[in-house]
Structures are given as C-alpha cells and as structure tokens.
Amino acid sequence: MSDISSICVYCGSGAGENAAYADAAKRFGAMLADNDIRLVYGGGGLGLMGIVAKAVLDDGGKVLGIIPEFLKSRERMLREVQDLVVTSDMHERKRLMFENADAFVALPGGIGTLEELIEMLTWGQLGQHTKPVVIANIDGFWDPLLRLLDHMQEQSFIRPGLMAHYLVATTADDILPLIHAELDRIADRETNGIVPQKM
C-alpha cells in the first residue's frame, strides 16, 4: 500500500445546514490523525475547516495551516496548529497547499472550495499532476457538480480521453482507501513505463 504523508482538505468556512457534513469532517480529521497523515488546509478555525483541523489536533495529529494575511481575522486563524504559514495572497496559499500535499479531498463547501477543487481537476486534466483528487460527496452534496461534469462530457466540452480524473467517496471512511488504491494504480502504471507528466 502506498505511503501518504499529507492530505490537503478543501472545505467550507461554514458548517452548512446538514449535520452530516460536520460529522464527516470530524470523522475524517480523526482518521488522518490515526493514520499519521498530516492535514494541509486553509488555516481557519471556522466551519468545516475548523472542525476537521481540531479533530486532527484532538487525536494527536499534525496540521499545516496556510492562510493569506487578509483572511486571518475573517476566518479566525487557528493558532493551535503545529505549522502555520501566512501568505501574501490566495495564489501563494494555493501553491503551497498543492506543494505540501500528496492528495486532495473536497468536503462540502462554497465557491472557494469549488474553485480549489476545479483547479486541481483542471491541472490533472492538463497533465500537470497525478495526485489523487477525491470528491467527498457527503449526503449527496456534490451531486449537482457531478451531473454538470457528466453534462460537459455529453456535450463534448470534455472530449473523450480528456475527462478530469477524480474519485468519489460517499462517506469519510471511503476516502483513504480510495486514495491508497489510486496511488497504487499510479505506481503500477509508472512501473510499466507509463509515466504521466508531473508538476
């Protein structure tokens, strides 16, 4: 099984209307800690961001928070994390999150979460990385996006063979096994001489 040292989690600075979202964030945070996988996230203390980070910390895990200067107060920067990086802007934040993660997980969230997820899908589609991207479709939250991606493919805006590669988990417990299986698949491809372009 492939080793994973860090996973970047994208999620909302709010908790949403469905308690299942917070439950999943808390469960996944505990799973990261239990598996000695560092959380890389946006550095805030509110909403699902705060829930997943605090769950990691509560279980003795490690957290890297990366937050831009202008969001320190708005998202209540979580100072309890072991590593905290304050960036000058969003671009630097996203670059550091990418560089410090072996895989990406999108829990429920808003426009910012969606933008981060789509960027990772786009970079993967363009051959700029092969890191696993998991859409955590908790209680069907991401169903509209998944339908939209299918619609884009049906309308030939995503051409055959160029579909953005992603994995879909329906529970927090599904996420790590999916990532491990995908990393093993990538390793097998590289062993067989199929080496995709990496960033």
Give the span between the Cα atoms of 165 and 65, in whole angstroms: 26
Q: Is 122 exposed, middle or buried (0-12, 13-18, 19+ CB in 10 A)?
A: exposed
3-state secondary structure of 184: helix
R_g of the chain, CA atoms, integer Å: 16
**What average pLDDT does the structure give for the chain?**
93
Q: Residue 39: pLDDT above 90?
A: yes
- Give pLDDT, residue 46: 95
Q: Residue 90: pLDDT above 50?
A: yes
**The overall pTM is greater than 0.75:** yes
Give the span between the Cα atoms of 87 and 96, in whole angstroms: 9
Mean pLDDT, rounded, for 146-162: 90
Label the pairing between strands 83-87 and 133-136: unpaired
Pairwise pLDDT comparison (127 vs 56), residue with the higher score: 56
The gap between the terminal CA atoms of the chain, to the nearest Å, is 23
Sequence ranges of the domains in the chain: 6-187
- Give pLDDT, residue 199: 35
The CATH code of domain 6-187 reads 3.40.50.450
Mean pLDDT, rounded, for 108-137: 96
